[in-house]
Amino acid sequence: MSDHRYLVTAASVALASADEQDRSPAEDPATGAVITIVGMQAREARELALAAEAVGLVVHPLAFGSPLANAALAAHGGSVRLPLAIVAGRYSLQRPGLAAVLECIEVLHGTRQTLPAGCVALASTTEPA
């Protein structure tokens, strides 16, 4: 049995699976903890989604080609390993474990100072207030 690794480049975003939904969810008002996952066809993505939901996080699939997916792809330099997890629309991680996702949430809540290794901040798409 082979271990499948998914490598996505900017040129291959059109190959997304048709069952992914193109949503750009807002933060969960109670926790700010919305995890958006690009590449739900990957076994690792499904495992991450189940683990995140088990600890009470809101999980949404996201299709390639959406503005948020494109921002995450760009933040990682144009190529990524799937799944790509986007935390609260602010941070992106390639092939993350649940612990790394939770560390990003701690940064959002101010209970942690540093982002986990491999985590990148997404460029802001909104104007400052």
Tell me: the pLDDT tens digits for 20-50?
Answer: 333 334 444 444 568 999 999 899 999 999 9
pTM of the full structure:
0.73
3-state secondary structure at position 124: coil
Q: Are 34 and 56 in contact (CB under 8 A)?
A: no
Tell me: the pLDDT tens digits for 80-128?
Answer: 889 999 999 999 999 999 999 999 999 988 999 999 999 999 986 543 3
Q: Where are the domains of the chain?
A: 7-121
CA–chain centroid gap for 32, Å, is: 14
Rounded Cα–Cα distance for residues 105 and 87 (Å): 7
Rounded Cα–Cα distance for residues 4 and 124 (Å): 33
Helix axes 98-109, 43-54, angle to 10 degrees: 50
